[in-house]
Amino acid sequence: MWTWFHRLASPPFFFRLAERWAPWLGVAALVLLAWGWIGGLVFAPPDYQQKDAFRIIYVHVPAAAVSLSLYTLMALAGAVAVIWRMKLAECVLVATAPVGASMTVVALVTGMLWGKPMWGTYWVWDARLTSELVLLFLYLGVIGLYRAFDDPRAGARACALLAIVGVVNVPIVKYSVEWWNSLHQGSTIMKLGKPSIALEMAIPLYAAVAGTLLFCGYAILRRVQNELLWRERGTQWVRELRVGEPGR
């Protein structure tokens, strides 16, 4: 039953699997992002209240949603690394952190740009904004903690514990607008039930979210490959890859 799990956890197997699927993820991401951004930034009708200022959601919402998804992935990888001590899970953990941090920065910056015309200020210590900022600090903490160790496996295990503890912030970010009084508007598409947004606006937004997620998947796969090559640089399968490179 667990044969597939152990096979997937094999560094050479995963490296070759990622090499096969990463380009397809990249192409799909570009197609969906083009659809979402062109449809949202050009063809979607203006909002009846926010006018064209609402169009920043086609960058802000995907980045914010994916920043939470990637932290959840990082915490799950950390749990696998702690429980089963899988090297691949450690690589996924440390590879996800910079990508997740980048998405969180995009979410915060675009949120601030959106907040200025809507609230009259770039920043308030609102529950959603503050918890998203905490999410960025958690990502940066994982990145910094990993670099503080000379032994990558020891560093990854320390990062795993931080990621697991920090995952409690994910539902706080998600439900902060419901649990506390907040200037931030409620969810429009990332909720149960009918989206509170017109279909011609929602479809490009769904495409942008899916494209952002696939793009981050592509980036994580490539970073995992690099991490595996560095950690396994003295093994036979990496030497065979180097022999198979053009010009060798």
For 156-200, the pLDDT digits (tens) are 999 999 999 999 999 998 887 676 665 555 566 555 455 567 788
Q: What is the pLDDT of residue 248?
A: 46
Q: What is the pLDDT of residue 165?
A: 97
Question: Would you kindly state where each structural domain of the chain is located, as residue ranges?
Answer: 21-231
Q: What is the pLDDT of residue 7?
A: 72
Residue range 7-15: mean pLDDT, rounded: 86
User: What are the two backbone dihedrals, phi and then psi, of residue 106, each rounded to the nearest 5 degrees?
Assistant: -60, -45
pLDDT: is 19 or 243 the higher one? 19
Residue 129: pLDDT band (50, 70, 90) is confident
Please give the model's pTM, rounded to 2 decimal places.
0.90
Average pLDDT, the chain: 88
Q: What is the pLDDT of residue 244?
A: 62
Residue range 60-70: mean pLDDT, rounded: 96
Evaluate if residue 247 carries a pLDDT over 50.
Answer: no
Question: Has domain 21-231 been given CATH number 1.20.120?
Answer: yes
Residue 5: pLDDT band (50, 70, 90) is low
Q: What is the pLDDT of residue 131?
A: 92
Residue range 141-156: mean pLDDT, rounded: 95
Residue with tokens 């997740």: 100
Residue range 67-84: mean pLDDT, rounded: 96
Evaluate if residue 152 carries a pLDDT over 60.
Answer: yes
User: What are the two backbone dihedrals, phi and then psi, of residue 44, each rounded to the nearest 5 degrees?
Assistant: -65, 140
pLDDT: is 243 or 239 the higher one? 239
Residue 106: pLDDT band (50, 70, 90) is very high
Residue 142: pLDDT band (50, 70, 90) is very high
Tokens of 188: 């429009």
Evaluate if residue 2 carries a pLDDT over 90.
Answer: no
